[in-house]
Structure 1
Amino acid sequence: MGYFHPTSYAQQLILRPDSTKRDTTLQLPLNKPDTTVKKTTSKGGLESEVLYSAEDSIISDRQTNIVKMYGKARVKYQDMELDADYIQYDQKNNTLFAKGLINPKTKRYTGRPLFKQGSEQPITTDSLFFNYKSKKGKSYGVYTEAEGGYLQAQQFKKNEYGEGNFVHGVYSSCNLPYPHNHFGINITKGIVTEKQIITGPAYLDIEGVPLPLGVPFGFFPKPNKRSGGLLFPTFGEDVRGFFMRDLGYYIGLNDYWDLATRGTLYSKGSYELSSAARYRKNYKYDGSLNFRFASTRNGVEGTEAFKHPNKDFNLTWSHSQSPLANPGTTFSASVNAGTGSFFQNVPGAVAYNPTEIARNTLSSSISYGKVFYDGLFNFTSSLSHSQDIELGTVALQLPQFNLGMTTINPFDSKDRAGEQKWYQRISLGYTMQGSNSINTTESELFDRETLKKFQNGIRHDIPISMSLNVAKFFQFNSSINYSERWYLQTKRTSMINTRDGFRDTSYMVSGFSRVYDYSVNSGFSTKLYGKFNFKKGNLMALRHVMTPSISANYQPDFGASRYGFFRNVANDTSTVAPRRYSIYEGSLFGAPSVGRVAGIGFSLDNNVEAKVRSTADSTKSSVNIPILQSLTFSGAYNFAAESFKLSTIGFSGRTALFKQKMGINFYGTLDPYQLDGRGQRIDKFTISNGKPARLTNFGLSTDFSLNSTAIKSRNKNLNQLEANKQNLTLQQQDELNAISRDPNAFVDFNVPWNISASYSFNYSKNDLKAVVTNTLNFYGDFNVTPKWKVQYTSGYDFQRNDLSLTTFSIYRDLHCWDLSFRWSPIGPYKFYSMDLRVKASILQDLKLSKRRDFYNNF
């Protein structure tokens, strides 16, 4: 099929003003800004007036009643609007002719007519005739957007019923002037009505080559509201047999909800079902709900494994509320729950996503929050769930709530003038926490006896504090902390005699019980500054800031018998002191600590900066570079303790290298006491043997990132989209959510390169045996050319001496097509997949896929 050249017909229709008829022509001066002439309604004539204007000139012929407009001409009649570089208006016959003009400098055809009528999609043409009274017209070289793509046709004719007939059309999601050079569906002829498009014979054309695949006719509904439709399946084969995958139906429930239900059938008896619903109300809320169920038969037909299929399900729900919907109230949900074997038994669920393949946990949270009493109180509540897929354990919080009060100064006055007195600095706070939780296994989750194992409790905390400046250089802080916990169950432990000897047995006693504790703490802190100047070189000075603090604290021994929080084990007849236990052991908020505390706490924080001469910025003579952003040591000494009076010394720090591109965090614990031959602590300091404290724990983590400046612009754009999320379509919101979940999977050809890596190291030695773990992960991407991008992700486990899950991805931007190749060459989850598909979602079934995964070889 030959394609219509936009200028081939328009060049024959160039009309120029005739200077020989000056006595019958009204010629407006050139370059006169927006001259407008109005034609009023005459009796028996038009129903309303015609408005027309032009930026260049308007020529009116009184004999023929023809008006010619040049340069950004415009005509408007009722709901019809026409814009073009040249418009000829025949007032006698109520007709319009419009076309573009050839620019004498660029020799290009510009100013094509743009025609719009009512709520219909605007149409761009090379030229057109239109009778605005009968509403009949004919266009040449039509270009318009239709049904998520673009429709171009050589000729388009419209009748008085609003129906359009076209010949030699091309439909494509490609927005180039000649889409058939990439791909297009060639339509020999067709009819466009308000609610449908009917076509004659059509065939696919790729890179200008017509394929021997076509259809004799086509029918496409074009409703002005949501409607349902069949979701076409894909066919193939894997170890479960021949399959028909994702056959379904889409339903537009109303203006706020839609639902897509799909099913997959396998010839060997397995099947999968899924329902995905999306909802949105502008400036109120939006979300999605997805439920998937699978019945999978494994093994050889006739075996026990085949007779009893695995039943698995997965439920996801995400919901977000606009801050404008109900100020002061928040509600959100992020749910991912189901059977732990779902991702192992349903290979299609992972969709070649390494994150899903390696997933070993599931978690959910539904939260509600409200601020009331002018912001004085803040209430939050949540339902949460966490699931360990490997261990098969489930933890539920049904529900968990928190009521917090903003810290107030009860002795201060709103009308106070001047500085606060010491008693006006006393502050008071209050928080209440409540929880009802259970830890169980997947197999026992829905048993009746499991419901009796729920643990519940409420905790109240009342902190009272005061802060003062003393002698200008010292900060004095004092506080009293009171905590009270309410429980509905307490524990009882006794010793019984069995065939295997004496052993402990425990049971729970129902009934309300309260437990409390309190502590008093006071301390001083200050800052010490040190500076060392250098006279030569770029290094000008080193600045060291130390923040020492010391505190005194006291807490009674709540293990004493008079409180009743601890008891002796019943029937313990040992000659030594009977063993004691807390009746609140295992409770949600724990029990008070045993033993009196009367001691001191101490900490020292360090910050080191370098001041260097600036060579890059002429407006600054020097810049400050952080060397140690923080290095903190902390510990405590309890004078009232019978042994081990000195606590372990904890330290932590952080710094950054290479202009803050590489962050380093480290932490550790020093134990000042010795170990005996069995690896147990004894009450002797290591320093008595001339050795420093033992390092019992040390951890280090670092992350490194190098990227082009374009990635900052990308992240800024993503943040702007997130801020305006309520104004996006459902499809745009889904795409943004996918990017937010995994920004590294977002293919952006505008970012030339990006390199990131992370490393973690941990050493622990609490007895005679040391345990070391360290892992390295790295990922990134780079553009081979402006249209080719390579992504990679991998890592190395030094303990196993093996690479972690490694994947490579190659993407090719083919303008209106996407080509992607993903490959995981090592490990238990080897796979590769290649997809060539059209970008437009409306043509999502127009694709070619080839894949082989760890589950099958098809």
Structure 2
Amino acid sequence: MNVSNTEPKLQNNSISTLRTNRHYLTIFLTFLLFCSAVSHSQDIPPKNEANIPKTSKEDTLTVNLKPIVDEMNEQAQDTVKTDSIKPPKETLTDVVDYYGEDYVLLNRKENRVYMYNKAYIIYGDMRIDAGLIILDYNKNEVYAKGIDSGGVYSQRPIFVQGANRVEPDSIRYNFNSEKALVYNSRTEQNGFNVIAEVTKKVNDSVVYLRNVKFTTSKNIDDPEYYFYTRKAKFVPKKKIVTGLTNMYIADVPTPIGLPFAYFPLTEDRTSGFIIPSFGENNSRGFFFQNGGYYFAINDYLDFSLLGDYYTNGSYALRGESSYKLKYKYTGSVSARYEKLVQEERGFPGFDERANYNIRWSHNQDAKSNPSSRFSASVNLGSSQYFRESINQVNNASALVNNLSSNISYAKSFEGDPQVNFTLAATQTLNTQTQEISMSLPNLNASVSRIYPFAPKDGAKKGIIQNINFQYDLSAENRINTADSLFFKKEMFNTAQIGAQHSIPLTTNFKIFKFLSASAGTTYRETWLLKTTRQRYDKNAFDGEGGIVRDTVSGFESYRTYNFQTSLGTTLYGLFNFGKDKKIQAIRHVARPSISYNINPSFDRYYDEFIVPRTAEETADRTVQYSRFENTLYGPPGKTYSSNIGLSLSNTFEAKVRDRDTLAKEPKKVILLNNLNFSTAYNLAGDSLQWSPLRFTGSIPIVKRLDFNFSGTMDPYALDNNNNKIDVFNINNGGSLFRLTNANVSVNYSFSSKDFEGGKKDVDKIENETFRNGGRPDDLFGEATNIYDGQIYNNDSAEEDEDKTNVEWYNYKIPWDVRFAYTVTYGNMRRENEISSQSFMVSTNMELAPRWTVGVSSGYDFKNNGVTLTQFRFQRDLESWQMSFNWTPIGSINTAWYFFIGIKSSMLSDIKYDKRRENDKRL
């Protein structure tokens, strides 16, 4: 409804002016009557009298009225004046909509409107909901408060204007000035809950507060902690500036206070300083860690620069950046460098070294460009970085033996045939041996299969129509060096460059409808730019003589080929026991196959030289070698081989009566999965023609628990010196086969949710340990992210509500268990021993709501010792979080770390952490 207070008012001075000009009005009215009489004396002829002729006599009466009218206008212009009083401007410029469930009372005398019970008023972008609302037209104000019934104050006002929402005890709002006075308000701004005794809204940009509490607690009425100040200035979505501010915990003031405080409020990321943590180290002195600056570059890219410093001269620098472009790609980059100084310079224990680590992860969205893809997974650095880092509390990362990196670009050219190529760079560092193997660059190209005799329409049939060939190219520049020579010119001295071309030609066909046969040949050509020559030099090695190996640069190549064929089928066996039995049937699926391979001898690529006899020898020795030895792809084979391969794959399944009586079909259960046997017989060999029998298998015990085993059995016996002889073991008084090695492994993970039928937990593969090259689970311990201290990353409102509603004494205790067992047996030369045997276990349990404990440990049965052990204690303090990680046992890391801090990322700098670094000298 539109409300306006513009009633008409008569002015006395206007009436008196009209009276003084009454004689002019008399003359004007007489003139109007005369003109009216003259005009009506001449009648207009009707339509049917249109042919009556006009009189030829013209009217001679002529009246000139212009001078009279002009005179009257001049006289009237001086006496009649325009009203100079402007109508009053409406105070309410927009529509006011109001409502009250019990009544809406309009008081004409007070010029007020009363709304009661579930009332609301809407004016522009402002809305007020309350138990009682009073609209005063005299003051152009609205007053709202709750309803006090029986000592219970309900229906508190809710003031909403734009994106701001305030829930006070009462409120006054003026429509003219748009100012508001709010009592005991509660509002939320970017994760901050603001509770103020008195709030004065000056305009849309500035709000003044008095006796204010700031907190991130979800419980506004009784927060577990808050910051208290007497005066504050609040700019919505920008900042909060306060005077003297003091921190309260459980309504108890603490010594933590500031003369003034500044709280930034922004929905976007902003740049700012990162407050470091302080402490003391016994060997390096006082320090500050993880201090720096965060750069919010734009919505797609950020960068943080952190650093550590110790008073003994040790320091560290870390740069981390994340980027993401929706529907295109996402990734992160980090570079870390540490200069470590142990003890003081000049003392016996002084040591100085530098470590670094570079990580880069880039993933391209598959939909952005289906024909090309770029990806990167880089993790390179010093071999001892994760073991010696002064700012790395990650036991699992310290156990990583290999650091791998891979950068690749793949491109496909659609067509018939399709052409694919991949350009990549790889690097692998063994942290134990400190050896590096690099392939930079690495090119792989291929042309898809071509069927030259295939029909244009219909399926391919027969041996001729199924003939196909393809082309593969592999080119590589491989570098093998040591960690100490990385990024130095010496690392390129051992570089090997080569390329290999392969053209496989194959076909397949059916025999008697049940046998699947295949045959083919492969032509392979190898190009190399470096080869080796060997010779005997009697003057070498200080005149003692010996074999000298020379590296020769230049293009060399060799060509090889082979032939292979195979024949296989699938057999099914079914054993029925009856539908009334618990196990109704067992099905056995066997897939036997036989293959034949011929590998010619390429002895033409081998050379010979003579080594003179020594004093202990009776004749000269002839040494045969290939100039392609120790090259990228190795030398071609010089021994002719003609092998027959035998393999058998087995699967056993059972049909078991379902426990559900309503189920119509029995349940299928796998008893033995992929029990495979393979061996070979060399027709061209003169001894030891049978290859060892290899077997692998898997027995699914329960869901997600598989019993995996593998091993090798040799049919030949050993002599008294434990050397293999050309005599079957059964003919030497032993069994048919001799078990030479075996391996058994069991991995299993389950949790309480498996028995509840709920959603299963999924391991997070994007964690710190996995990015460092370790396992994605916590079997070897859980990483503590000491950069921000965040433990409960998923701090959603729903989770908090669920935790709040859980009773303290609950028979449902969430838990999870993960274990792994492995044992290796060796008996190649009658060792008959367990070479390795270990058991690892990790478990987490929520003893009570918000209390979680965990442990990761294991036992090495070979060395009779406990493996690296970690204890974890975590406490969710609603708005705070606390954790304690302790590693009391470990061959590498023994340390502990304690952390307590506020969850909110805006107040993440309010924290306390303390830790003991691992003892590097043990």
Q: TM-score, normalised by structure 1?
A: 0.84
* 1:524 to 2:567 alignment: yes
1:560-575 paired onto structure 2 within 5 Å:
560-561=603-604, 565-569=605-609
Output the CA distance in 2 between the equivalents of 1:341 and 1:418. 59
Alpha carbons 1:493, 1:570 under 8 Å: kept: no
Match of residue 396 from structure 1: 438
Match of residue 115 from structure 1: 160
Match of residue 743 from structure 2: 699
Output the CA distance in 2 between the equivalents of 1:571 and 1:341. 45
> Of 886, 891, 894, which residue of structure 2 is paired with 1:830?
894
Alpha carbons 2:440, 2:478 under 8 Å: kept: yes
- Specify whether residues 45 and 368 from structure 1 end up closer, same or farther in structure 2 by C-alpha distance, changes over 3 A only: farther
Match of residue 63 from structure 2: none
Output the CA distance in 2 between the equivalents of 1:843 and 1:293. 28
- Specify whether residues 405 and 157 from structure 1 end up closer, same or farther in structure 2 by C-alpha distance, changes over 3 A only: farther
Output the CA distance in 1 between the equivalents of 2:101 and 2:919. 70
> Between the two proteins, what is the percent identity of the paired residues?
30
- Specify whether residues 482 and 738 from structure 1 end up closer, same or farther in structure 2 by C-alpha distance, changes over 3 A only: closer
Match of residue 234 from structure 1: 277
1:602-613 paired onto structure 2 within 5 Å:
602-613=646-657
- Specify whether residues 276 and 711 from structure 1 end up closer, same or farther in structure 2 by C-alpha distance, changes over 3 A only: farther
Alpha carbons 1:496, 1:571 under 8 Å: kept: no
Please report how far the alpha carbon of residue 806 of structure 1 lies from its aligned counterpart in structure 2 after TM superposition. 0.5
Match of residue 825 from structure 2: 763
- RMSD (CA atoms): 3.6
- My pick for the range that moved more, 94-103 or 785-794, is 94-103
- Specify whether residues 739 and 172 from structure 1 end up closer, same or farther in structure 2 by C-alpha distance, changes over 3 A only: farther
- Specify whether residues 522 and 739 from structure 1 end up closer, same or farther in structure 2 by C-alpha distance, changes over 3 A only: closer
Alpha carbons 2:183, 2:198 under 8 Å: kept: yes
Please report how far the alpha carbon of residue 94 of structure 1 lies from its aligned counterpart in structure 2 after TM superposition. 5.1
Output the CA distance in 1 between the equivalents of 2:663 and 2:208. 68
Please report how far the alpha carbon of residue 628 of structure 1 lies from its aligned counterpart in structure 2 after TM superposition. 0.6
- Specify whether residues 394 and 108 from structure 1 end up closer, same or farther in structure 2 by C-alpha distance, changes over 3 A only: farther
Match of residue 776 from structure 1: 839
- Specify whether residues 211 and 603 from structure 1 end up closer, same or farther in structure 2 by C-alpha distance, changes over 3 A only: same
- Specify whether residues 450 and 850 from structure 1 end up closer, same or farther in structure 2 by C-alpha distance, changes over 3 A only: closer
Is the partner of 2:675 in helix, strand or coil? Answer: strand
* 1:489 to 2:530 alignment: yes
Output the CA distance in 1 between the equivalents of 2:710 and 2:815. 33
Output the CA distance in 2 between the equivalents of 1:470 and 1:56. 88
AA aligned opposite 1:256:
Y
- My pick for the range that moved more, 740-749 or 754-763, is 740-749
Output the CA distance in 1 between the equivalents of 2:754 and 2:100. 41
Please report how far the alpha carbon of residue 190 of structure 1 lies from its aligned counterpart in structure 2 after TM superposition. 0.3
Please report how far the alpha carbon of residue 518 of structure 1 lies from its aligned counterpart in structure 2 after TM superposition. 2.1
Output the CA distance in 2 between the equivalents of 1:483 and 1:140. 87
Is the partner of 1:443 in helix, strand or coil? Answer: helix
Please report how far the alpha carbon of residue 235 of structure 1 lies from its aligned counterpart in structure 2 after TM superposition. 2.0
- My pick for the range that moved more, 788-797 or 843-852, is 843-852
Structure 2 unaligned residues grouped into runs of 5+: 1-86, 783-790, 804-812
> Of 706, 711, 715, which residue of structure 2 is paired with 1:668?
711
- Specify whether residues 832 and 712 from structure 1 end up closer, same or farther in structure 2 by C-alpha distance, changes over 3 A only: farther
Please report how far the alpha carbon of residue 759 of structure 1 lies from its aligned counterpart in structure 2 after TM superposition. 0.9
Please report how far the alpha carbon of residue 68 of structure 1 lies from its aligned counterpart in structure 2 after TM superposition. 4.1
Match of residue 441 from structure 1: 482
- Specify whether residues 379 and 717 from structure 1 end up closer, same or farther in structure 2 by C-alpha distance, changes over 3 A only: farther
Q: Which structure's CA Rg is the greater one? A: 2
Match of residue 370 from structure 2: 327
- Specify whether residues 737 and 346 from structure 1 end up closer, same or farther in structure 2 by C-alpha distance, changes over 3 A only: closer
**Equivalent pairs, count:** 792
Is the partner of 1:451 in helix, strand or coil? Answer: helix
- Specify whether residues 740 and 74 from structure 1 end up closer, same or farther in structure 2 by C-alpha distance, changes over 3 A only: farther
- Specify whether residues 825 and 595 from structure 1 end up closer, same or farther in structure 2 by C-alpha distance, changes over 3 A only: same
Is the partner of 1:758 in helix, strand or coil? Answer: strand
Match of residue 12 from structure 2: none
Output the CA distance in 2 between the equivalents of 1:843 and 1:188. 20
Is the partner of 2:453 in helix, strand or coil? Answer: coil
Please report how far the alpha carbon of residue 385 of structure 1 lies from its aligned counterpart in structure 2 after TM superposition. 1.9
Please report how far the alpha carbon of residue 255 of structure 1 lies from its aligned counterpart in structure 2 after TM superposition. 3.5
Is the partner of 1:347 in helix, strand or coil? Answer: coil
- Specify whether residues 420 and 232 from structure 1 end up closer, same or farther in structure 2 by C-alpha distance, changes over 3 A only: same
Match of residue 243 from structure 2: 200
Please report how far the alpha carbon of residue 775 of structure 1 lies from its aligned counterpart in structure 2 after TM superposition. 1.3
Output the CA distance in 2 between the equivalents of 1:75 and 1:478. 84
Alpha carbons 2:594, 2:647 under 8 Å: kept: yes
Alpha carbons 1:790, 1:809 under 8 Å: kept: yes
Output the CA distance in 2 between the equivalents of 1:210 and 1:710. 46
1:160-179 paired onto structure 2 within 5 Å:
160=203, 162-179=205-222
Q: CA-to-partner distance for each residue in 1:259-286, whole Å, 9 max, x for gaps?
A: 3223322222222222223333333333
- My pick for the range that moved more, 446-455 or 735-744, is 735-744
Match of residue 188 from structure 1: 230
Alpha carbons 2:190, 2:266 under 8 Å: kept: no
AA aligned opposite 1:769:
E
* 1:787 to 2:850 alignment: yes
Output the CA distance in 2 between the equivalents of 1:509 and 1:735. 44
AA aligned opposite 1:694:
R
AA aligned opposite 1:379:
F
Q: CA-to-partner distance for each residue in 1:784-828, whole Å, 9 max, x for gaps?
A: 112211111011111111010011111122211112122222234
- Specify whether residues 641 and 715 from structure 1 end up closer, same or farther in structure 2 by C-alpha distance, changes over 3 A only: farther
Please report how far the alpha carbon of residue 227 of structure 1 lies from its aligned counterpart in structure 2 after TM superposition. 4.2
Is the partner of 2:298 in helix, strand or coil? Answer: coil
Output the CA distance in 2 between the equivalents of 1:835 and 1:441. 39
Q: CA-to-partner distance for each residue in 1:442-483, whole Å, 9 max, x for gaps?
A: 222344233121112222233332232332222122222232
* 1:431 to 2:472 alignment: yes
- My pick for the range that moved more, 541-550 or 262-271, is 262-271
Alpha carbons 1:538, 1:612 under 8 Å: kept: yes
Is the partner of 2:484 in helix, strand or coil? Answer: coil
Is the partner of 2:731 in helix, strand or coil? Answer: helix
Q: TM-score, normalised by structure 2?
A: 0.78
Alpha carbons 1:74, 1:84 under 8 Å: kept: no
Output the CA distance in 1 between the equivalents of 2:865 and 2:261. 56
Alpha carbons 2:444, 2:473 under 8 Å: kept: yes
Alpha carbons 2:475, 2:499 under 8 Å: kept: yes
Output the CA distance in 1 between the equivalents of 2:710 and 2:90. 89
Match of residue 588 from structure 1: 632
Please report how far the alpha carbon of residue 653 of structure 1 lies from its aligned counterpart in structure 2 after TM superposition. 0.8
AA aligned opposite 2:475:
G
Is the partner of 2:622 in helix, strand or coil? Answer: coil
Alpha carbons 2:769, 2:775 under 8 Å: kept: no
Alpha carbons 1:494, 1:572 under 8 Å: kept: no
> Of 863, 867, 872, which residue of structure 2 is paired with 1:804?
867
Is the partner of 2:397 in helix, strand or coil? Answer: helix
Please report how far the alpha carbon of residue 71 of structure 1 lies from its aligned counterpart in structure 2 after TM superposition. 4.8
> Of 552, 560, 570, which residue of structure 1 is paired with 2:596?
552
Please report how far the alpha carbon of residue 849 of structure 1 lies from its aligned counterpart in structure 2 after TM superposition. 3.0
Alpha carbons 1:461, 1:482 under 8 Å: kept: yes
Q: CA-to-partner distance for each residue in 1:426-452, whole Å, 9 max, x for gaps?
A: 333333222212111122234423312
Please report how far the alpha carbon of residue 779 of structure 1 lies from its aligned counterpart in structure 2 after TM superposition. 0.7
> Of 667, 675, 684, which residue of structure 2 is paired with 1:640?
684
Alpha carbons 1:113, 1:128 under 8 Å: kept: no
- Specify whether residues 345 and 539 from structure 1 end up closer, same or farther in structure 2 by C-alpha distance, changes over 3 A only: closer
* 1:282 to 2:326 alignment: yes
Please report how far the alpha carbon of residue 232 of structure 1 lies from its aligned counterpart in structure 2 after TM superposition. 1.9
Output the CA distance in 1 between the equivalents of 2:104 and 2:724. 105
AA aligned opposite 1:800:
N
Please report how far the alpha carbon of residue 629 of structure 1 lies from its aligned counterpart in structure 2 after TM superposition. 0.7
Please report how far the alpha carbon of residue 168 of structure 1 lies from its aligned counterpart in structure 2 after TM superposition. 1.9
* 1:291 to 2:309 alignment: no
